[in-house]
Structure 1
Amino acid sequence: MCGIIGIVGNAGVAPLLVDALKRLEYRGYDSAGVATLEGGVLTRRRAEGKLRNLEALLDKDPLAGRIGIGHTRWATHGAPTVTNAHPHQSGRVCVVHNGIIENYLELRAEAAAAGLFPVSDTDTEVVALMTDLALRGGLSPVDAVAAVLPRLKGAFSLVFLFEGEEDLLVGARQGSPLAVGHGDGEMFLGSDAIALSPFTDRITYLEEGDWVVLSRQGCVIRDRSNAQVQRPESRSAIGAAMIDKGNYRHFMAKEIHEQPEVIGHTLSRYLDLAARKAKVPDGMAVDFSGLTRLVMSACGTAYYAGLVGKYWFEKYARLPVEIDIASEFRYRELPVNPGEMALFISQSGETADTLASLRYCKAAGLTIGAVVNVPESTIAREADLVFPTIAGPEIGVASTKAFTCQLSVLASLAILAGRQRGVLTADQEAELVGALSEVPGLALKALALEARIEKLAPGLSRASDVLYLGRSTSYPLALEGALKLKELSYIHAEGYAAGELKHGPIALIDENLPVIVIAPHDAIYEKTVSNMQEVAARGGRILLITDEKGAEASGLADRDRILMPALSEIVAPIIYSIPIQLIAYHVAVFMGTDVDQPRNLAKSVTVE
């Protein structure tokens, strides 16, 4: 969600802090602020809304100083106002925070009893108050942080800046990621490697419960027991130049059009195209043969990828799959057994509910697999088996290329599982792998439909409700299409299994309701045609996404169709994702909404 940056530098840091925060805009936020030491004195600038408002404030009233912290806030406790924006200050300490302090009311009362009172509505400010209280009690800044951290309940990453301490930043993480960046005579803290990419590619990821003391000469890391520990330094592959829209109007448009390339990169890790076999990344031992069940969990779009994966694993590997939304999974105490495997899907690898579900299964002794786009993430580090997607940084809040890369990994793993379990013959495996090898080219053909889809956007934008229908693997795509439209255009949309039409949604059908039907011409296409006829009989406005055979069998006019290339059944969910992404994108562009950062949404949900 929120973004953090801290710099102990050699020159004025305020512009650098803002630049780093810009790279974290994709995470979602509604206010921003920075704090530096000017002559040893804490000075802050905070603003509501987008970073351009903070930049305007700094242009008018600049900040000096070679050390500072910055933050983009996504409101949880308290409205997105200047008073509630980070950094928060009490006395000699300034704090930025991602996460939620669950016991903030108890700590606030304790601070009030000592004569320290909040000025904001946030839970974060209590961290500054309690640290200030410890300083007033005679503790040094580092000792004050050490005393306060064990008092905090909940999820957090924190960075502390102290008045009069020109060579000191203190950071801590519990349930929310924080990374250390190593420079030459300067050091950095950030929410992720993207924030640090303009400054360094040398990254150390703090582990759960770690806290760190930074100076220009380096850092000292301690674990939750305060024992000094060494954490590995790695090289980040994320370059500053990668976080750029290029010639595209929005990051989402760029990421949609990157899909042929990144899907190809991803599939190359999981398919041996010469041998026509599925494989796994080098050095990884994966055995699906003896599993009795595969347990899967994810959130949002990643959950819909998992739903498609369920169809694939059960069809091609005859492996039973139990899948649930992570926010439900983590609390319903699903019975699990050691003979099972758990698979978690997350773009960021930091999703709080997914991570909690992973830890539940790990405690029960299951082998843990993770399909993630950030191999250095917490979920990846805590998994036994990591299945990376090679999507590259995804900046747009609405997931596009990460989703199709997740599908690519899941399809490949389902084929591998089918071979290992003796369900697929060598010829069947070769046929499926051959079909997947065609996906990058098919994705290019799907992208060529953009002009046609853009022309449909004005008509769809006038709807107050939209219904998406699909069967089999197209049902999760209907859910995903509805989610995309809601996220980006704020039009109410629902995705339904087409066979459920008569069980409620048909009551909504009239001439004002667009019905988007996702239906490749497959073994159950005729069933979907019957549902379309029920919609047409009631005056519904149908938009059919299908191939040439499906179009011929539909009886619909050309204006009511998006004609997709002919393709194999296993790749249909990957390719049919592209038009539903383009529909949502162009409707939102036509309506003038904030495509890359829709209201109220965050890219990475790191708290409940």
Structure 2
Amino acid sequence: MCGICGVVGHRPATPIIFEGLRRLEYRGYDSSGIATVEHGRLACCRAAGKLDNLKNALEDTPLAGTTGIGHTRWATHGAPTTNNAHPHKVGQVAIVHNGIIENFADLKKALESKGRTFKTETDSEAVAHLLDEHMQQGMSPKDAAFATIRQLQGAYAIGMIFEGHDNLLIGARHGAPLAIGYGEGEMFLGSDSLALAPLSNRITYLEDGDWCVLTQDHVEILNGQGKVVERPVQTTSLTTGQIGKDGYRHFMEKELHEHPVAIGQTLQRIIDPVTRRVALPDMPFDVATLSRATITACGSAFYAGMVGRYWLEELARLPVDIDVASELRYRNPPQPDKGLALLISQSGETADTLGVLRELKGAGQSIVSILNVEHSTMGRESDLVLGMVAGPEISVASTKAFTAQLSVLAALTIDFSRQRGLLSEQKERELTDNLLDLPSHAMEVLGLFDQIRTMARVIAQARDVLYLGRGICMPVAQEGALKLKEISYIHAEAYAAGELKHGPISLIDPSVPVVAIAPSTILFDKTLSNLQEARARGGCILVFTDAKGAERLKDIAEHIVILPDVSAFAAPILYTIPVQILAYEVALLKGTDVDQPRNLAKSVTVE
């Protein structure tokens, strides 16, 4: 979702802000802009489309000044045009805004009644007019900012600069992330630590309702009541190198190659290398007597949760309810007394998942979150965070974070199974060894790009693709279909293989490829039968399997990619990697924007 970068300091602001916006491209955007305070006057430059368009505009209209704000906009209210791009400059103020102002129509009507004219289609412009209205009434910038945010309803992260104030930057957040970076003689404001990584390793994350007043050498943080509060300053180890492409063509290509490291580092954190036993923190509930768990997430993280459901129910014998967060937060189902809510998010800022967290916490559930960003809003509001160590994920389409999420869920299953008295020491060691072998197997899969590329040539010619899986491989098929849709724009759907003849089989003809996730250890005979049915109707069968499965599929499948032999327990993690690579290779053939596919945002921080 939209990105904010701001600076108040002693160096030219525009280059600093522009590079910050470059690092925020991964969030998804369709226009951008920068505003600065030039010798007391506000100046602004905006452009629709990619940041290169803004770069060209800045060459024609350079911005001076050492204080400024920048924005990458993902259109919500209003088309992605230059006129609707941020910053919005009105009178004595300029603002950037992430989120949605739910009462903007009422604010706009009231402001228009005072003679104000709106020039854009955005909800954000109401914030700028409201802020300027308070300034026109003689308020100081600080008082005007406080008066403004107290009138806003909805989700927002806002950056504000003011005419005549070269050494002032004000920020505010409610429901959308915002962080402060501490420099030497300069302060920074950013949507996340990635924007601030090269600028500062000392970060403060504002909490909901917080707002801040920044000058070159001072930070004041206030809460929603206007009282000064203290928030911790955290040291981040994030480096510029971690957010570069390192010679790869795309961030997604780089992140696909980081699967082995993401899996390995995540497992190292949660498995004792000496005893080879899972060592998770103590849970805020009695695992042995737990009667039910609720899993919720969005997008790929939801499919990770579906795999987790299979594991927890089969091995830990724990009943699990699972639903996408955007539905669960409004469904209001009954919750068990002192139950477990397991939430999954890469960013920890996903609006719907965060909303469910608060609903379930209010219903008395213990909140355990699986996050890649542990200091996120979800991390701060959870009872326990199980952190994965995937590192920054820049490409909009999630890759390595998904296998890291699965790695945590697998370890959690082992831990729960042991605590519930269902796992012998020998079986626990076997399952743990299955996981610890995964990084080397993942490296082997990365050697299969050429074979997967051959398969991709078939997919790239199709308009529709069916993905099939059985049992715990069904969510992997769904992940594969989602990735293909996201980055190649080819319509793809995933089905449980046994459902093929309950409707989808009518779609099959030589123009509709069928991609099967079929390890020989998971309901293989059933899957084989379904593929034979598809083949008999002219379907082009493409299969990911192991050597044993390949032998039995050689007369049915047109293309087979043979993966390393792994246990049924570890298979969902390993088989995820080639289906993601397949989507990537198809996108290359289609010539789409792999890292920033159209209409998508990395972190969905509004509903």
- Looking at structure 2, the residues matched to 401 and 550 of structure 1 have their Cα atoms a distance apart, in angstroms, of 26
Mean Cα displacement is larger for which, 336-345 or 407-416? 336-345
Give 1:414's aligned amino acid: T
Structure 2 residue aligned with 1:127: 127
Structure 1 residue aligned with 2:334: 335
For residue 156 of structure 1, give the secondary structure of its aligned residue in structure 2. Answer: strand
Kept in 1, the 8 Å contact 2:103–2:153? The answer is yes
For residue 70 of structure 1, give the secondary structure of its aligned residue in structure 2. Answer: strand
In the alignment, is residue 152 of structure 1 matched against residue 167 of structure 2? no
Structure 2 residue aligned with 1:280: 280
- Looking at structure 2, the residues matched to 11 and 237 of structure 1 have their Cα atoms a distance apart, in angstroms, of 24
Structure 1 residue aligned with 2:303: 304
Give 2:201's aligned amino acid: D
Kept in 2, the 8 Å contact 1:276–1:429? The answer is no
- Looking at structure 2, the residues matched to 287 and 488 of structure 1 have their Cα atoms a distance apart, in angstroms, of 43
- Looking at structure 1, the residues matched to 116 and 366 of structure 2 have their Cα atoms a distance apart, in angstroms, of 48
Give 1:147's aligned amino acid: A
Map Cα deviations across residues 140-166 of structure 1 (whole Å, 9 max, x no partner): 111111111111110000011100011
In the alignment, is residue 181 of structure 1 matched against residue 181 of structure 2? yes
- Looking at structure 2, the residues matched to 290 and 186 of structure 1 have their Cα atoms a distance apart, in angstroms, of 53
Structure 2 residue aligned with 1:572: 571
Mean Cα displacement is larger for which, 138-147 or 80-89? 138-147
**Structure 1 residue 337 displacement after superposition:** 2.6
Structure 1 residue aligned with 2:32: 32
Structure 2 residue aligned with 1:382: 381
Structure 2 residue aligned with 1:197: 197
Structure 1 residue aligned with 2:509: 510
- Looking at structure 1, the residues matched to 318 and 217 of structure 2 have their Cα atoms a distance apart, in angstroms, of 53
Give 2:227's aligned amino acid: A
- Looking at structure 2, the residues matched to 318 and 284 of structure 1 have their Cα atoms a distance apart, in angstroms, of 17
State the TM-score, normalized to the length of structure 2: 0.99
Map Cα deviations across residues 411-452 of structure 1 (whole Å, 9 max, x no partner): 000000000001111111111001111000110111111111
**Structure 1 residue 564 displacement after superposition:** 0.9
Give 1:317's aligned amino acid: A
Map Cα deviations across residues 457-515 of structure 1 (whole Å, 9 max, x no partner): 22211100000000111100111100000001000000111111111100101111000
Kept in 1, the 8 Å contact 2:471–2:522? The answer is no
Kept in 1, the 8 Å contact 2:522–2:568? The answer is no
For residue 33 of structure 1, give the secondary structure of its aligned residue in structure 2. Answer: strand
In the alignment, is residue 91 of structure 1 matched against residue 95 of structure 2? no
Kept in 2, the 8 Å contact 1:108–1:117? The answer is no
Mean Cα displacement is larger for which, 537-546 or 130-139? 130-139
Tell me how large the CA RMSD over aligned residues is.
1.1
Kept in 2, the 8 Å contact 1:197–1:240? The answer is yes
- Looking at structure 1, the residues matched to 593 and 308 of structure 2 have their Cα atoms a distance apart, in angstroms, of 31
**Structure 1 residue 456 displacement after superposition:** 2.2
- Looking at structure 1, the residues matched to 279 and 310 of structure 2 have their Cα atoms a distance apart, in angstroms, of 20
Structure 1 residue aligned with 2:476: 477
- Looking at structure 1, the residues matched to 529 and 457 of structure 2 have their Cα atoms a distance apart, in angstroms, of 28
Structure 2 residue aligned with 1:137: 137
How do residues 388-537 of structure 1 correspond to structure 2 at under 5 angstroms? 388-537=387-536
Kept in 1, the 8 Å contact 2:541–2:558? The answer is no
- Looking at structure 1, the residues matched to 50 and 67 of structure 2 have their Cα atoms a distance apart, in angstroms, of 23
**Structure 1 residue 276 displacement after superposition:** 2.9
Map Cα deviations across residues 82-127 of structure 1 (whole Å, 9 max, x no partner): 1000000110010000000011110000110111111000000000
Map Cα deviations across residues 61-81 of structure 1 (whole Å, 9 max, x no partner): 211101000000000000010
Map Cα deviations across residues 265-305 of structure 1 (whole Å, 9 max, x no partner): 00011112432311115x77675222111111000000000
Structure 1 residue aligned with 2:261: 261
Give 2:409's aligned amino acid: L
Give 2:555's aligned amino acid: L
For residue 129 of structure 1, give the secondary structure of its aligned residue in structure 2. Answer: helix
In the alignment, is residue 206 of structure 1 matched against residue 188 of structure 2? no
**Structure 1 residue 551 displacement after superposition:** 1.1
Unaligned runs of 5+ in 2: none
**Structure 1 residue 39 displacement after superposition:** 1.1
Unaligned runs of 5+ in 1: none
Give 1:102's aligned amino acid: E
Structure 2 residue aligned with 1:581: 580
- Looking at structure 2, the residues matched to 338 and 219 of structure 1 have their Cα atoms a distance apart, in angstroms, of 43
**Structure 1 residue 236 displacement after superposition:** 1.2
Kept in 2, the 8 Å contact 1:157–1:178? The answer is yes
Kept in 2, the 8 Å contact 1:29–1:73? The answer is yes
Map Cα deviations across residues 344-395 of structure 1 (whole Å, 9 max, x no partner): 0000000000000000111112111010000110001110110011000000
Give 2:30's aligned amino acid: D
**Structure 1 residue 553 displacement after superposition:** 1.8
Structure 1 residue aligned with 2:346: 347
- Looking at structure 2, the residues matched to 440 and 167 of structure 1 have their Cα atoms a distance apart, in angstroms, of 50
Kept in 1, the 8 Å contact 2:532–2:556? The answer is no
- Looking at structure 2, the residues matched to 340 and 106 of structure 1 have their Cα atoms a distance apart, in angstroms, of 41
- Looking at structure 1, the residues matched to 276 and 313 of structure 2 have their Cα atoms a distance apart, in angstroms, of 21
How do residues 243-262 of structure 1 correspond to structure 2 at under 5 angstroms? 243-262=243-262
Map Cα deviations across residues 15-66 of structure 1 (whole Å, 9 max, x no partner): 1100000000000000000000111110000001110111111122211101
What is the aligned length? 607
Kept in 2, the 8 Å contact 1:273–1:434? The answer is no
**Structure 1 residue 525 displacement after superposition:** 0.6
- Looking at structure 2, the residues matched to 287 and 266 of structure 1 have their Cα atoms a distance apart, in angstroms, of 24
Kept in 2, the 8 Å contact 1:290–1:339? The answer is no
**Structure 1 residue 604 displacement after superposition:** 0.1
- Looking at structure 2, the residues matched to 410 and 185 of structure 1 have their Cα atoms a distance apart, in angstroms, of 44
For residue 401 of structure 2, give the secondary structure of its aligned residue in structure 1. Answer: helix
Structure 2 residue aligned with 1:71: 71
Kept in 1, the 8 Å contact 2:540–2:558? The answer is no
**Structure 1 residue 559 displacement after superposition:** 4.6
Give 2:186's aligned amino acid: E
